Amino acid sequence: MKTKPDVNLLKNFISEHDFSQTESIVVQAMKTLLEKSGAGSNFTGWVNLPSELLGSKTLLEKIKNTQQRIGKMQPDTIVVIGIGGSYLGTKAIYEALSPAFPDNSKPQLIFAGHQLDSGYHQQLIAFLRNRNPVVVAISKSGTTTEPAIAFRMVRALMEEKYGNEAAQRIVAVTDASKGALRSLCENKGYDSFVIPDDIGGRFSVLSPVGLLPIALCGFSIDQLLEGAAEAEKELTQNFTIKTNAAMLYAAARNILLEKGKSIELLATFHPQLATLSEWWKQLFGESEGKNGKGLFPASLVFSTDLHSLGQYVQDGSRILFETFISVEKPSSDIEIPTLHNDDDGLLYLEGKLMSFVNQKACEATQLAHVDGNVPVLTLNIPYIDEYSIGELLYFFEFSCALSAYSLGVNPFDQPGVEAYKQNMYRLLGKPGF
Ligand code: PA5
């Protein structure tokens, strides 16, 4: 596995003794996960998913056939309709791999149904009128209100724009037999993909939920799965903190929680990973935040946030620790221009690479935060590409399951999400509420 955790800066906060005391708890969590003996064990289908998909190829071929069929329409826009685990992973991968400025050689991925803002959805429909869009509607339950409303709006537009041909431009990813989205597929003849019963929303990024839209945008889902499969192999076969990066990370999180830290900040100096942090927040927040327990997952993008929340991290309540995602080799680089003068005070940096300055800013920040009593651990990834992102996604899924089981909660349910839904249905006058 190319993702390497570095715990050197944790030395002042976690002793070898702390790690060895916690190891047996994490080993037990690992057994619980792999032997499917814990709470929510019927939602562990994601554990061997990467190797299974690469082994059987059936799903990958179906995705590639759909990609070819849709490619002939030369879409300029792929609209992904979904919320939570049905959209965050796709957005995380897309933004990590896409250039910072528009690249017209690939379809643009846009999202709907992840919130209920009227302006956004009104503008979306107006925008799509002048585009050549294809729609991917994703909902495991097939009944979630936010994406269902957005899909109704987008569907109406597609039918107005393309008539009977609209059905060819809509693909659904949903349950095999249940839910309104499945019924729509049958009634309207949409091409569809199944989210397996044993994979919950926030663990579904490496199923058709993430693979289909990412393939439609022209990225390599084979490489994504190869990276994830490498992580699967390593993390499911090693049973010590020293040999298993996910066990080490899960142990560190639980020790720091035990020592009074209540917030984990996922920090990066690479803004293209900002949405990966959003995905991570959902994964850990929804998996661990129950029964009055769990670290609160938050995220920071540096240097940007050094000039806002940086003050709090350095000097505010000491309830924080930081996990950095550090990238060894940037996807591209640029030199600071050599102008042979010091009129801007930057003579000492001319000719230096921007990545070098970013790296030094990262090291400086980590040292400052450790001095400020913030425990820091780092996850080093070699590069931002499909392979590394696949590996990192799987690493976080596996760590999350171990961490939640170590904490004593079911990683795979989300009973708290129901509370607002019941109130909303009642306030909206939904029959039966
Ligand atoms: O992790 C989860 O299960 C949730 O966040 C879901 O992904 C989210 O609620 C969306 O549900 P659905 O895909 O059924 O529309």
Is the pLDDT reported for residue 104 higher than 90?
A: no
Ligand 1 atom with the smallest distance to the CA of 85 is 7
On the CB side of 72, how many CA atoms lie within 13 Å of its CA? Answer: 7
Q: Is the CB of 83 under 6 A from ligand 1?
A: yes
Q: Is the CB of 147 under 6 A from ligand 1?
A: yes
Closest by CA to 221, choosing from 78, 398, 57, 107, is: 57
The string of pLDDT tens digits covering residues 118-145 is: 999 999 999 999 999 999 999 999 999 9
What is the pLDDT at residue 102?
A: 82
Q: Is the CB of 90 under 6 A from ligand 1?
A: no
What is the pLDDT at residue 61?
A: 98
Rounded Cα distance, 170 and 190, in Å:
6
Dist. CA 429 → ligand 1 center (Å): 23
**The pTM is what?**
0.97
Hey, which residues are catalytic here? 286, 307, 421
Buried b / exposed e over 266-293, threshold 16 CB at 10 Å, is bbbbbebbbbbbbbbbbbbbbbbbbeee
Q: Is the CB of 202 under 6 A from ligand 1?
A: yes
Domains (range + CATH), the chain: 4-40+236-407 (3.40.50.10490), 48-221 (3.40.50.10490)
Ligand 1 atom with the smallest distance to the CA of 195 is 13
pLDDT band, residue 356 (cuts 50/70/90): very high
Is the pLDDT reported for residue 103 higher than 90?
A: no
Rounded Cα distance, 415 and 433, in Å:
18
The string of pLDDT tens digits covering residues 367-403 is: 999 999 999 999 999 999 999 999 999 999 999 999 9
Rounded Cα distance, 309 and 294, in Å:
22
The string of pLDDT tens digits covering residues 160-205 is: 999 999 999 999 999 999 999 999 999 999 999 999 999 999 999 9
Residue among 144, 198, 206, 282 to mutate when testing ligand 1 (max atoms within 8 A of CB):
144
Q: Are 26 and 406 in contact (CB under 8 A)?
A: yes
Dist. CA 146 → ligand 1 center (Å): 11
What is the pLDDT at residue 270?
A: 97
What is the pLDDT at residue 57?
A: 87
